[in-house]
């Protein structure tokens, strides 16, 4: 279980995160939402060891600060919002997800190859495996990186706006796939999203950041009952075809 205790982050003189505390429920999909500048990406960067922070971050009772980069990468896979486009094949990129398990000079094992093959297939990328990453479309590149972190085989996945370059159809396919991973493979997933409608549709739990502070953390049902989204984003809620939607925001991030 991932636990944050009074986590704070400052960038220059600005306090971006302020005493954020929550315990991430295991084997579930938690969606982190908030307006621009609320600290969503900063929070993920702090957990990933990329931002200095105050307070404490624990994983299964162990302080992440005490783990080496390799050990952390065996437990947490992180997909940032902005992705590089290296001049390597898609298959080579996905193999990079196995780096935490490869000692210096050791060739990939059958287990490594099987993990990569499974990840490529799960994203429907078999026909693009030899294509160079820098020649892929934005959506294809996003899928390739998703395959890479799936090949990493970690119990915890963190994704920063993974649907940015995806069309609505694949967005729903991908979010449904992530939700299935929680149940089928017992994954714990934390996703930053700007699409409130998709967030409320797929989340088991929601975390809401407002100006660097955690204003809400709880189940989807609690979030709906308390009108958290409406208050935080100044939106209206309505139902159609048995689903809940929000409208009226000029900023959904």
Q: For residue 253, is it within any domain?
A: no
> φ, ψ for residue 148 (rounded to 5)?
-60, -45
d(CA 93, CA 152): 11
Q: For residue 252, is it within any domain?
A: no
Q: For residue 22, is it within any domain?
A: yes
User: CA dist 65 to 6, 73, 220, 221, Å?
Assistant: 15, 13, 31, 34
Q: For residue 136, is it within any domain?
A: yes
Q: For residue 43, is it within any domain?
A: yes
Q: For residue 33, is it within any domain?
A: yes
The pLDDT, as a whole number, for residue 167 is 81
Supply the CATH number for residue 240's domain: 3.40.50.300
If we measure between CA atoms, which residue out of 39, 40, 42, 46 comes closest to residue 63? 46
The pLDDT, as a whole number, for residue 170 is 80
Q: For residue 24, is it within any domain?
A: yes
pLDDT digits (tens, 9 = 90+) for 100-145: 999 766 788 999 999 999 999 988 999 999 999 999 998 899 899 9
One digit per residue, the tens of pLDDT, for the chain of length 253 reads: 899 999 999 999 999 999 999 999 999 999 999 999 999 999 999 999 999 999 999 999 999 989 999 999 999 999 998 889 999 999 999 999 999 999 766 788 999 999 999 999 988 999 999 999 999 998 899 899 999 999 999 999 999 999 877 788 888 888 998 999 999 889 999 999 999 999 999 999 999 999 999 999 999 999 999 999 999 999 999 999 999 999 985 444 3
Q: For residue 191, is it within any domain?
A: yes
> How large a percentage of the chain has pLDDT more than 90?
81
Residue 240, domain extent:
2-247
Beta-carbon contacts of residue 44 (< 8 Å; ≥ 6 apart): 32, 78, 80, 158, 160, 190, 192
Give the bridge partners for 62, in sequence order.
59
Q: How many domains does the chain have?
A: 1
Whole-structure pTM value: 0.92
> φ, ψ for residue 5 (rounded to 5)?
-125, 110
The pLDDT, as a whole number, for residue 104 is 67
């Amino acid at each position: 279980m991932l636990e944050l205790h009074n986590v704070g982050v400052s960038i220059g003189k600005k306090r971006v995160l302020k005493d954020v505390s929550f315990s991430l429920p295991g084997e579930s999909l938690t969606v982190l939402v908030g307006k621009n500048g609320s600290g969503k990406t900063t929070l993920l960067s702090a957990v990933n060891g990329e931002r200095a922070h105050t307070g404490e971050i624990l994983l299964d009772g162990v302080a992440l600060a005490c783990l080496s980069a390799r050990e952390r990468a065996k437990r947490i896979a992180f997909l940032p919002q902005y992705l590089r486009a290296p001049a390597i094949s898609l298959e080579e990129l996905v193999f990079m997800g196995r780096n935490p398990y490869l000692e210096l000079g050791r060739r990939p094992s059958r287990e490594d190859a099987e993990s990569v093959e499974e990840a490529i297939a799960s994203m429907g990328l078999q026909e693009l495996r030899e294509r160079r990453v820098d020649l892929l479309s934005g959506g294809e590149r996003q899928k390739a990186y998703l395959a890479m972190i799936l090949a990493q085989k970690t119990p915890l996945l963190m994704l920063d706006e993974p649907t940015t370059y995806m069309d609505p159809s694949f967005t729903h396919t991908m979010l449904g796939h992530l939700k299935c991973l929680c149940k089928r493979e017992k994954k714990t997933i934390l996703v930053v999203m700007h699409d409130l409608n998709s967030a409320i549709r797929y989340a088991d739990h929601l975390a809401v950041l407002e100006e660097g502070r955690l204003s809400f953390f709880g189940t989807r049902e609690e979030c709906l009952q308390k009108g958290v989204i409406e208050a935080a984003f100044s939106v209206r809620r309505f139902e159609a075809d048995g689903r809940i939607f929000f409208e009226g925001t000029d900023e959904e991030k």
